[in-house]
Amino acid sequence: MILALLLQAAVAAPVTPAVAPAVPWAVTARVDTVSKSTTISAWSADTKARLVVRCDVTNEKIVSIQFIPKPGFAAAQPRPVSINADDDGWLGANWTFPGNGAFISEDVIVTNLAVVIAHGKAIRVRVIDPDNAVVEASFTGPGEAPIRAVLKACDYEFGVTPPRSAMPVAPAPDAKPQPDPADE
């Protein structure tokens, strides 16, 4: 009788398919009507934060590195964020805090951090959040291949800061033309 009730309960129980965990550092691409993005990310060891390397293509191509904790950060002025790979010293800069997470998109910093993240086996991120509390997270490194895929989507070369066209400097309104030395 008990066996029959257990079997009946087992048959009546809804079967839910097992959800496969997201593959860390898997390259994903998304295209919508306005932009295209290519992203890799991984959850921290404690699943309380994500580290993201992202290429966004709109009018220009921009690579960013992002740190997104649960439940997120409040929007704030730029704040210190540091990354350490394999206990080889901290690399820090002030990142932008638009709300929810933090990101950096300055080409030189992103280029250097992308190489550090790609070569690191154990990556630690330390953030001074908008409340001046320290938030830390640890990640397993992705290796070069996924980082290279994201950089390639934005026409960046791994380890090379992308050239950007400089804006021409306009002369000051009261500036007088300088004589050409050949005319003298």
Q: Is residue 180 part of a domain?
A: no
Question: Smallest Cα–Cα separation from 72: which of 104, 102, 39?
Answer: 102
Calculate mean pLDDT across residues 139-162.
95
User: Cα-flanking dihedrals φ and ψ of residue 49, to 5°?
Assistant: -160, 155
Q: Is residue 44 part of a domain?
A: yes
Does pLDDT of 172 surpass 70?
no
Q: Is residue 8 part of a domain?
A: no
Does pLDDT of 174 surpass 80?
no
**Residues in contact with 19: Cβ distance below 8 Å, sequence separation at least 6, in sequence order:** none
Q: How confident is the model at residue 2 (pLDDT cuts 50, 70, 90)?
A: very low
Q: How far apart are CA 37 and CA 134, in angstroms?
A: 30
Q: Is residue 184 part of a domain?
A: no
CATH number for position 142: 2.60.40
In this predicted model, which residue has the larger pLDDT, 7 or 64?
64
Q: How far apart are CA 25 and CA 135, in angstroms?
A: 22
Which residue segment(s) compose the domain that 144 sits in? Answer: 22-161
Q: Is residue 179 part of a domain?
A: no
Calculate mean pLDDT across residues 133-154.
96
Question: Smallest Cα–Cα separation from 24: which of 11, 43, 5?
Answer: 43
Taking all residues of the chain, what is their mean pLDDT, rounded to a whole number? 84
Q: Is residue 7 part of a domain?
A: no
Q: Is residue 174 part of a domain?
A: no
Q: Is residue 11 part of a domain?
A: no
Calculate mean pLDDT across residues 104-121.
96
Whether 151 contacts 63, CB under 8 Å: yes
Tens digits of residue pLDDT in 34-91: 889 999 999 999 999 999 999 999 989 999 999 999 989 999 999 999 999 999 999 9
Domains identified in the chain, total number: 1
